[in-house]
Amino acid sequence: MQIRFTIETKFGSFSDALYFDDDHTFTEAEVEAMKQERLTNWLAVIEAPPTEETEATRAITDAIAAAIKAAEESVIGEEV
Amino acid sequence: MASRYWVGGTAAWDGTAGTKWALTSGGAGGQAVPTSADDVFFTNLSTGTCTISTGNTGAKSITCTGFAGTLAGTATISVSGSVTLTAGMTASYAGVLMIIATGTVTSAGKTFCAGLFINGTGITVSLGDAFSTVAGGGIYLFSGTFNLNNFTATTDNFSSNNSGTRAIAFGTGNIALVSTAAATKVLDMANATNFTYTGTGGFIRNQAATATVVFGSTGGTVTNAPNLTVNAGASALTITSGTWFNNLIFTGSTSAVTAINLILVGNLTLGSSAAYATMLVSHFNTGTITSNGKALGSLVINAAAGFAVTCADALYLGGALTLFRGTLKLKTGVTNTVASLATSGTTLKYLESTLAGTQATISDTSGTNTVTYLSIKDSNATGGAVFDATDPTNVNVSNNTGWDFGAAAGGGSFIAFFM
């Protein structure tokens, strides 16, 4: 089963879903805690302070650039 | 087409078969490496860390059910369908996940992949829940439809700068652009040719770091301009010249905003604690401008006939107000301030108030504001400047003061003469 939820924040609405087996035994409070955890994790990303480029982010940038190049080559006849 | 089940151990998902793939859950390893025709499963009987590595030949789908191990790696993988993670697993994968066929991405609260690439003519990639790329990651829409399915997608930057046929189905969902690295182009859609969207959602941004956004300097239209809400943060935002937005809302942000030749379709709401003096706006279509006491650089009303731009509060322009087409309704009961007023073109345009029969005040301190082809109604022109409406193409509809309509006043004065 899917439980969709939307929580309004000062950063806009956060919409997510939890998935459970139909016969799950989670209590309402536990489900609410899971929703809150998802929200907390999202807010941590949204509210993150400015950062400097790191080796990890540089590696990601390079990997994406290479993948973009490959993707562009796969879009035949389309300008990317 | 077949199924491949991850057996376990710590191994690379690359081009080597080894003993890591089985035909059944818990089955014996030694099967061939999955390909784009194979559904890949990580189950409760799969163990260890699977590191997606160079040499992998993709998968038709990836489904994790009851898996308590780790999906890792940084290599690109191409998937021709759905990707489903599960809550109990660890997903440290930080490569590029390229979806090339219709499918659903369900990430179970995991932040994973550096890049989500959507690249397939006519495909639809839907979200099964909220989605987040890793820090530094991005979502790239080359072709096909990205269906948020009303969920929130979170990524450092969104890029779709091409002319492929592509769409975003926002529904009520948003794409949060969260890069915290300075000077990142968090929305990169300079070329919006063949882009469309549906829904009421849009892009949201916390200006924790300086950033640039661009949409549609090529291919932007009144129908494909998206919404952007900047809802927090103090760092400067640059909107690239020629960018289109539908609703542009600054709520809670104290950022200084630079936008030369910004084209708006819907509503503009300025934040009360920010600076917009270098925002030069051209407004198409129907919308509401809420200034919240802040000054725009300049404003051009370029709405089609029958469309009106309405001011919800006092309009402040550090520069010119230019009426080109359509109707501008200034707020009554406040003083609307401009540095100059001008008209452009030979299409009749309309200056009115928000309340018929009640004047709206427009104030300019100096100079002469000469207008042509302007229909004026319920307007009090004041402040010291000359408001010259003597050109016979103007129409003095009714209830105007402070304007010089000269001897050849338009329809309103004509009617008044005989009344």
Which residue of chain A is at minimal alpha-carbon distance from B138? A64
Residue B12: predicted pLDDT? 97
In chain B, % of residues over pLDDT 70: 97
Q: Is the pTM of this model over 0.90?
A: yes
- The domain segmentation of chain A, as residue ranges, is 1-49, 51-80
**Secondary structure of B239-296 in the HEC alphabet?**
ECCCCEECCEEECCCCCEEEEEEEEECCCEECCCCCEEEEEEEEECCCEEEECCCCEE
**B255: how many CB neighbours lie within 10 A of its CB?**
25
Contacts of B415 (CB under 8 A, 6+ apart): none
* Contact yes or no for A71/B140 (Cβ under 8 A): yes
Predicted confidence band at B409 (pLDDT cuts at 50, 70, 90)? low
Average pLDDT value for residue range B359-386:
98
Greatest Cα pair distance, chain B, in angstroms, is: 100
Domain that holds residue B369: 266-419
Q: Which residues of A touch B143 (CB under 8 A)?
A: 75, 78
Residues B348, B354, B360, B363, CA torsion sign = negative
Cβ separation A15–B229 shorter than 8 A: no
Nearest 5°: the CA angle B232, B235, B240 is 100
Q: Which of B87, B114, B229 is opposite residue A63, by nearest beta carbon?
A: B114
**How far A67 CA sits from the closest chain B CA (Å)?**
7
The string of pLDDT tens digits covering residues B10-65 is 999 999 999 999 999 999 999 999 999 999 999 999 999 999 999 999 999 999 99
The string of pLDDT tens digits covering residues B166-220 is 999 999 999 999 999 999 999 999 999 999 999 999 999 999 999 999 999 999 9
The string of pLDDT tens digits covering residues B118-137 is 999 999 999 999 999 999 99
Q: Which residues of B touch A13 (CB under 8 A)?
A: 152, 172, 174
**What number is the ipTM of this complex?**
0.86
Q: Total structural domains in chain B?
A: 1
Q: Which of A15, A19, A75 is opposite residue B152, by nearest beta carbon?
A: A15
* Contact yes or no for B242/B263 (Cβ under 8 A): yes
- Is the model's pLDDT at B230 over the cut of 60? yes
Preferred mutation among A39, A57, A62 to probe B, highest tally of B CBs within 10 A:
A57
